[in-house]
Structure formats: structure tokens, C-alpha cells
Amino acid sequence: MRFVESVEIAADVDRVWAVQSDVERWPEWTPSVTAARRLEPGPLALGSTARLEQPRLPPAVWRVTEIEPPYSFVWESVSPGVRSRGEHRLVALGDGRTRAELALVQTGPLAGLLGLLAGSMMRRYLRQEADGLRRRCEQD
């Protein structure tokens, strides 16, 4: 299962990266995350982990598996029967604008069933994250 969302933001890529990579502050700007805690200090880097709590989902630990600041990071979380991959990519559009591309990819023996049962929630959470990121980055 793959869910995708994108949004154009009236802020440069460095501003958007600063907001998006500050994982512990996500609950301030997206209702799709109620708590976020980095499990080690320092900037987001390859191997970094964070524990996220989201409404209607069990808490999950996400580990960064790819990162290219200030343009992208990918992280993964594993639960019984499902591997989830969150992709966060930024594209500089010029004139101080950025497109944020978000994707959630789920694989494993239970991924199809999870998609059927929770697909609308996953799409809603991605939309909330995209909209919240845009609002936070466009604040003065």
C-alpha cells in the first residue's frame, strides 16, 4: 500500500527542512501526531530514532534509513505483519517556494488488510501533516 500527499509552501527549503526535521515539535502543528520523542540527542541523522504516538494507532519507533539534508529523509517502523516507510521529500521551486512530498508505504503480509481497514485514516493523517507543515512554515 502506498499513500501520497504533496503541498506547495511559501517558504524556502531551509525553513521547511528546519520545521520538518524537528520531529519532537510535530505535535504542535499536526493533529496526526499527539506525542513525539527523539531517542537520542542531536540533529536528525542516519540511524536516528523517534517514538511517535498517533491517534488510533499503537506507539511506534521510527528509524531514519536515508537522509539528505535539507531535501529528504526516510524512516521506517516495523510492527507485526507490517513494515511502514515514511518518505519526506522537499523540492525547491524557486521564488522562495518549496513543494513537500510525503508518502507512506506499507509492506508485509498484513499491509493489504491494514490498507483496507485504515486507508482513509492514513490518507487523512498525511493530509493533516502536509497542511500543518505548510501553515507552520508560512508563519512569520
pLDDT tens-digit profile of 42-93? 999 999 999 999 999 999 999 999 999 999 999 999 999 999 999 999 999 9
d(CA 64, CA 130): 19
φ, ψ dihedrals at 106, nearest 5°: -120, 130
pLDDT given at position 128: 98
What average pLDDT does range 16-21 have in this prediction? 98
pLDDT given at position 34: 98
Q: Are 100 and 130 in contact (CB under 8 A)?
A: yes
Q: SS3 of 73, please?
A: strand
pLDDT given at position 114: 84
Preceding amide of 31 cis, omega within 30: no
pLDDT given at position 68: 98
C-alpha cell, 91: 523540492
For residue 55, the tally of other CB atoms under 10 A from its CB is: 10
Q: SS3 of 20, please?
A: helix
**Which residue in 79, 76, 84, 74 sits closest to 107, CA to CA?**
84
| This prediction's pTM | 0.94
Q: SS3 of 134, please?
A: helix
C-alpha cell, 110: 498484513
pLDDT given at position 117: 87
Taking all residues of the chain, what is their mean pLDDT, rounded to a whole number? 96
pLDDT given at position 19: 98
